[in-house]
Amino acid sequence: MDPTLVKALAGGIAVVAAAAVAAAFQYAAKVREERRLLRVALVEADTKVAGAFGELIGRSHGRGRSELSEALVQALLAEGDLVDTVRRAYADYIRAAPDKRKAITEVFGDLPVSHPIGTDDMDATLHVLAALGRKHDVLTRGARGALEGRAIWKPLPGATELIADLKKQEAWNRMGRMQRLLHPRRRP
């Protein structure tokens, strides 16, 4: 074979090999970045789910949204003799109190208005929490805690069955992958 042809082929193979190695490195970097972005997205989704789940737990125990009246805030920030007198009285009360934090809490404690939740809404929310607890391993213990906490002061009809179900789900969650494969009938 012609030596110049062999040289040209060797040079071409070297260029192709270098391009293939560079492409492999670029691909690996792209895969790492996509995995990182997926982890970030999963953390964000988990955070949103946890926030919504916490809100549901509050609803299941009869705590609705709390809000601060805009009219009340505007009245507190307004100018006038009566407002200044009230401000001074509260300021004097807080200054004279031995426990300043407690005094501030007493003064501002009634300002947020809480909207109550009805018992039907609370019961429905508990059922939603139980369903979410059965579906998502991370939420199982929280759902069980909400049901058990509510059972102390106003038991939900059928709560004992739901709690037992969630306990079985927790046991399933603790099982390893091999145990789950070997004992599929234990799945709740």
pLDDT tens-digit series, residues 107-140: 676 666 666 677 778 888 888 888 888 888 888 8
Average pLDDT over residues 58-80: 69
Query: Is residue 106 pLDDT above 90, yes or no?
Result: no
**pLDDT confidence of residue 48:** 83
Tell me the average pLDDT across 169-177: 85
Residue with more model confidence, 74 or 20: 20
pLDDT at 1: 66
Distant-in-sequence, close-in-space partners of 141: CB < 8 Å, separation ≥ 6: 133, 170
Residue 152 binned pLDDT confidence (cut-offs 50, 70, 90) = confident
d(CA 134, CA 188): 8
CA gap 36, 92 in Å, rounded: 55
Q: Would you say 148 and 154 are in contact if contact means Cβ atoms under 8 Å apart? A: no
Task: Please check the confidence at residue 172 and state whether its pLDDT lies above 70.
Answer: yes
Lowest mean pLDDT among 56-65, 83-92, 105-114, 146-155: 105-114
Distance of CA 155 to the CA centre of its chain: 26
Do residues 172 and 186 touch, judged by C-beta distance below 8 A?
A: yes
82: tokens are 């009566």
For the chain, what is the mean pLDDT?
80
What share of the chain in percent tops pLDDT 70?
82
pLDDT at position 27: 93
The 10 Å CB-count burial string (b at 16+, else e) for 154-173 is: eebeebeebbebbeebbebe
Better-predicted residue by pLDDT, 73 or 186: 186
Element holding 67 (H helix, E strand):
strand 63-68
